[in-house]
Amino acid sequence: MHDVASHSIGAARGAADWRCPLCGAGTERRRHLYGHWVCQRCGLAFVNRRRAALLFDLILWQVASVSAWFFSAAIYIALEGRSVIAAALPVATLALTIVPLAARDHLLGAGASPGKALFGLRVIDARSGQPAGLAACIKRTLALLTPLSAIIAALQVGGGQRLGDHWAGTMVIWTRHREQAVFRPSLGEADHLLQNIDLRAPEGVTLEENPYRAPPVTVG
């Protein structure tokens, strides 16, 4: 009974001492982000930045697309539809509107769309931590075109990786906090805890006596 009470007291103290890794605030209102606990305020701020970046990209794409089609129509009318250029204009304009949308996360460099750059976000490889390449950026965007994917993505974005990120092996980070464990590629909290374990032999203990050393390899 005493052990249970001690454990409860220790857990309560641990909860009271907890600080958000992003802002340093101590609060009981937390949420999971990429397998780590963050405060409710930082978690919502990150989600809202992602939503605002997407909205900005879509508005920018809509404006560019409408402008491209008007420009294409003007050229088509001027040529009276009688040349090879006029015949190819619809296909070329369609390509010029679809490709930037699919590759939007690579328009301003690896992993950066106009919206993400504006709101301090970047897409990176979930394993290496390097900025996501063109193929991965296109892949994560195309995932939104599958049936019901937009609804699923809206439900998943609060935890970090949405459907397209899982498919492309990417993750979106908040560049301001890129050095925090929350936004570093890892296996989650377990991996973060393992990083803090010192596997070196204690002082005065030889390599053979080290309990953490790798087992000997036998041949034959």
- Whether the model pTM is above 0.95: no
**How far is the C-alpha of 190 from the C-alpha of 196, rounded, in Å?**
10
Confidence of residue 6 (pLDDT cuts 50, 70, 90): very low
Residues 6+ apart with CB under 8 A from 109: 131
Backbone angles phi, psi at 50, to 5 degrees: -65, -40
Q: CA–CA distance from 152 to each of 141, 147, 164 (Å)?
A: 14, 10, 10
Tell me the percentage of the chain whose pLDDT exceeds 70: 70
pLDDT at 9 over 50: no
Residues 6+ apart with CB under 8 A from 87: 81
Burial of residue 110 (number of CB atoms within 10 Å: 0-12, 13-18, 19+)? middle
Give domain limits for the chain.
Answer: 29-187
Q: What is the pLDDT of residues 158-207, one digit of tens each?
A: 677 877 888 889 999 999 998 898 998 864 444 444 444 555 555 665 55
Q: What is the pLDDT of residues 96-130, one digit of tens each?
A: 888 888 888 888 888 899 999 999 999 999 888 89
